[in-house]
Amino acid sequence: MTGAFDPIDFLERVVQLPSHEDVTEMREFLCETLREHGVEPTVDDAGNVLASRGRGEPHLLLNTHIDTVSPHVPYEREEGVIHGRGSCDAKGPLAALLAAFLAVEPAGRVTLAITPDEETLSTGAHALSLDFDACIVGEPTDLDVCNAAKGRFEGSLAINGENAHAAEPQEGENAIRDAGRVLAALEGFDADRDPHPELGVPTLTPTVIEGGSATNQVPAACRITLDRRSVPPETAEGFAEAVSDHLDSNVPDVEATFRFTERETPFLEAFETPDDERVVEALVGAGAGTVRPFTAATEASYFASEAPTVVFGPGVLADERGAVAHGDREYVRVEDVERAASILETAVSSLLG
């Protein structure tokens, strides 16, 4: 076993490892680090890195991911700030979680579960089958405790019309014109919904529209891609049914069919954990900031269906200048990583003491 784990040294090294296309090198380094500190990890068939310390109950799960979005942004450090892809999403949170995982002497059991593809399909998280009593998911929350998040669903509306010559448009059914009517109807989709007390109102955003194949022909087909950010208690299936009913009522003469985008894993559902759950109180008691919702979808959705789950970590999604996570100026402050590690160590010790 080597000396005490240094989260900043670890973070500086892993930010320099590209993991936007292939996480192999990053995963190998993580496993090597665990072994150097006396913990033998396993890698399951889905590419998750799993490691546990202690035994019995309660059982606390610590999770984050090692993949990053493209393109890779080179590492740089200056004036107490680490720049580079993954510095805050989510290698900074990983460094803090790993520090706490290695430091505590649990009376129960703590498991580290690090997933390989959170930024894409979450096949790693979906493949996990673990019994646990609470979960902390590492993401950039600016050291706040995020106990709720919107879900994200994606699908498309196929609008069917009938071809005709553009010189005789009345002889066909223009799917693009009908798409305009559908979009107008969707503006009122959430009009009667009450805001969620923490997450506010859900959103429904058309993001892509495709239609037509010839400049002199009435188009017979048009497709609109929809992005849905849901709030509890809405589910994916409930949303699909509601969209269909809404269009049947508001544009009954338009043939529009909604289908979810095909994917290997379930969509990320909205979740909320009560403020008085122990995992929330433990982090706040250890010095974490405000209890609030997280503004992005995360794999916490999968874990929250099993046990109380919160999102916590150093770094921010955006600052006063704009995007940080996923942006070309991604960074995390050294003092925030160190503070996150200290808060997590205290909170984990409290939960497993």
Domains and CATH numbers, the chain: 7-149+270-352 (3.40.630.10), 151-260 (3.30.70.360)
Structure-derived torsion over alpha carbons of residues 178, 184, 187, 190, reported in degrees to the nearest 10: -60
The CA distance from 160 to 222, in Å, is 7
Cβ–Cβ contacts within 10 Å for residue 3, how many? 7
Q: Decide: 141 and 193 in contact? Cβ < 8 Å.
A: no
pTM score, whole prediction: 0.90
Q: Exposure of 42 by Cβ count < 10 A (0-12 exposed, 13-18 middle, 19+ buried)?
A: exposed
Specify the pLDDT at position 297: 85
Strand partners, 130: none
Specify the pLDDT at position 296: 87
Specify the pLDDT at position 198: 86
Integer angstrom CA distances of residue 198 from 145, 194, 310 = 13, 12, 14
Sequential pLDDT tens for the chain (353 residues): 556 999 999 999 999 999 999 999 999 999 999 999 999 999 999 999 999 999 999 999 999 999 999 999 999 999 999 999 999 999 999 999 999 999 999 999 999 999 999 999 999 999 999 999 999 999 999 999 999 999 999 999 999 999 999 999 999 999 999 999 999 999 999 998 899 988 999 999 999 999 999 999 999 999 999 999 999 889 999 999 999 999 999 999 999 999 999 999 999 999 999 999 999 999 999 999 999 999 888 999 999 999 999 999 999 999 999 999 999 999 999 999 999 999 999 999 999 98
Q: Decide: 266 and 161 in contact? Cβ < 8 Å.
A: no
Specify the pLDDT at position 2: 59
The CA distance from 39 to 24, in Å, is 19
Cβ–Cβ contacts within 10 Å for residue 1, how many? 8
Handedness of CA 239, 268, 121, 140 (dihedral sign): positive
Cβ–Cβ contacts within 10 Å for residue 156, how many? 19
